[in-house]
Structure 1
């Protein structure tokens, strides 16, 4: 059962690093200002009867 105490923490650390990388990429994309991340609202079209 020693493998359990090796694999589980390693997998947990890898998942944390992957999540941290995604957060860093999101923050870098927001700070770069290349794109506008404002919510685009679409006016509802009038319903045809």
Structure 2
């Protein structure tokens, strides 16, 4: 009996995106790409760096 199971995964991103000229900063420590719209949510800039490691 063949297994016809499958998984469908859909992702929808409604964010404003990251400008091409700032994308190189994504995985560098202590870099905050843009917190102008939500300065109260500003962090240390270590989240993606630690995730990558």
Normalization by structure 1: what TM-score? 0.21
Which protein has the bigger helix share?
1
Structure exhibiting the larger radius of gyration computed from Cα positions: 1
Q: Please give the TM-score of this superposition, normalised by the length of structure 2.
A: 0.20
